[in-house]
Amino acid sequence: MTSNLINQPVTDFSVNAYHQGEFTQVTQQDVKDHWSIFFFYPADFSFVCPTELGDLADHYAEFQALSAEIYAVSEDSEFVHKAWAEATDTIAKVQYPMLADPAGHLARAFGVLDETSGWAYRATFIIDPDGNIQSYTINNTGIGRNAEEILRTLSAAQFVAENGDQVCPANWHPGQATITPSAELVGKI
């Protein structure tokens, strides 16, 4: 079993990326001072993956409005990311960085590399502006994710970070009631 990653800092890294038609590098320092979503997926030119990246692309403006950047990560090279964007309308609309992790260093650091297949599991990490993991989910490769739930979880993480004396109940959305933990509430919720 892996150890808990909550409040753990993102390890030092430097990877190549494909971003808005250009090749670039992304490092640990690039994910500081804003919220980050690390979105691991198994492979380019596959089946569930484009539906997920397309869903994130459709909600990208909402992530940006929350001062968050999305970093999609697979074990493909930046050249394969470029070819996928040029070949597929769904991926062509992706405006967030697509990180290349062909040696699996980043997937291993996050504990999401399936060593047998060489693919990353479907894992989502929400990282605060200090570079610490605040939320993560890991799905097997056949189970797709939902951008709206990632947005909801990001909003809750941001609310708790700003209002440490309050917590967000199940299905909480911005503007809804939160809970201030106290002994008086025990057994009454």
Judge whether 5 and 111 are in contact, CB under 8 Å: yes
Phi, psi of 140 (to 5 degrees): -65, 165
21: region left, alpha or beta (phi > 0 left; psi from -120 to 50 alpha): left
- Number of Cβ atoms within 10 Å of the Cβ of 151: 20
The β-bridge relationship of strands 68-74 and 98-100 is parallel
Determine which one of 15, 17, 49, 120 is catalytic. Answer: 49
**Residue 76, SS3 per DSSP:** coil
For every residue of 34-70, DSSP letters joined together read SEEEEEE-S-SS-SHHHHHHHHHHHTHHHHHHTTEEE
What end-to-end distance do the CA atoms of the chain give, in Å? 33
The answer to whether residue 49 is catalytic is: yes
Which tokens belong to 25? 């590098």
Residues catalogued as catalytic = 49
